[in-house]
């Protein structure tokens, strides 16, 4: 297994468990950037902010978990892609009273590496559908 594959896997597990930047920063450059073409993340430009956003999300979708569908390393381009389905039910807090509704959201992370650290991550996600499924839109 490629070293970046193992690093990406460890980052993915920590991020998706809602452990926040405190747990994720060891896998990333200090100034790791973030991008997504998704309205809830429009102002998120750093991986630190995204990891902490995920931490907050897990306090709202308290049963949140994922099913990993694919994990692939592109050595030539020095990136790792993870495709998963996030499943979570709105049980606490959030933008409105708990709806009790569940989402099954497909998403992809593309983690770009500089050496053995993630320097940028792009999230590909249909946020609009997720918000509708949760009763937030």
Q: What is the pLDDT of residue 61?
A: 97
Average pLDDT over residues 29-53: 97
pTM across the whole model: 0.96
**pLDDT per residue over 71-89, tens digit each?**
999 999 999 999 999 999 9
Beta bridge partners of 28: 118
Task: Say how many C-beta atoms besides its own lie within 10 A of residue 82's C-beta.
Answer: 22
Instruction: Could you please state the CATH topology (level 3) that the domain comprising 3-134 is classified under.
Output: Nuclear Transport Factor 2; Chain: A, (3.10.450)
Per-residue pLDDT at 26 exceeds 90: yes
Residue that is written with structure tokens 């306090």 in the block: 59
Q: What angle do CA 50, 56, 61 make, to 5 degrees?
A: 115
Torsion of CA 72, 42, 85, 102, to 10 degrees: 170
Q: How many CB atoms lie within 10 A of CB 114?
A: 12
Alpha carbons 108 and 117: distance in angstroms, whole number? 19
**Is residue 1 scored above 80 in pLDDT?**
no
pLDDT over 70, % of the chain: 99
Q: Report the share of the chain in percent with pLDDT over 90.
A: 97
Give the integer Cα–Cα distance in Å for 131 and 46.
22
- Give the CA dihedral 108, 8, 92, 98, nearest 10 degrees: 0
What letter would DSSP give residue 43? T
pLDDT exceeds cutoff 80 at 120: yes
Whether the per-residue pLDDT at 119 is higher than 90: the answer is: yes
What pLDDT does 2 receive? 84
């Amino acid at each position: 297994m490629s070293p970046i594959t193992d690093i990406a896997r460890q980052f993915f597990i920590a991020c998706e468990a809602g452990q926040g930047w405190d747990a994720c920063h060891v896998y990333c450059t200090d100034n790791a950037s973030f991008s997504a073409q998704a309205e809830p993340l429009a102002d998120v430009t750093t991986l630190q902010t995204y990891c902490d956003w995920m931490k907050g999300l897990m306090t709202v979708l308290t049963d949140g978990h994922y099913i990993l569908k694919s994990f692939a390393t592109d050595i030539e381009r020095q990136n790792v892609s993870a495709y998963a389905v996030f499943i979570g039910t709105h049980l606490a807090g959030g933008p409105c009273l708990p709806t009790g509704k569940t989402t099954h959201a497909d998403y992809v992370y593309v983690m770009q590496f500089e050496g053995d650290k993630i320097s940028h991550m792009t999230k590909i996600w249909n946020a609009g559908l997720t918000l509708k499924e949760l009763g937030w839109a």
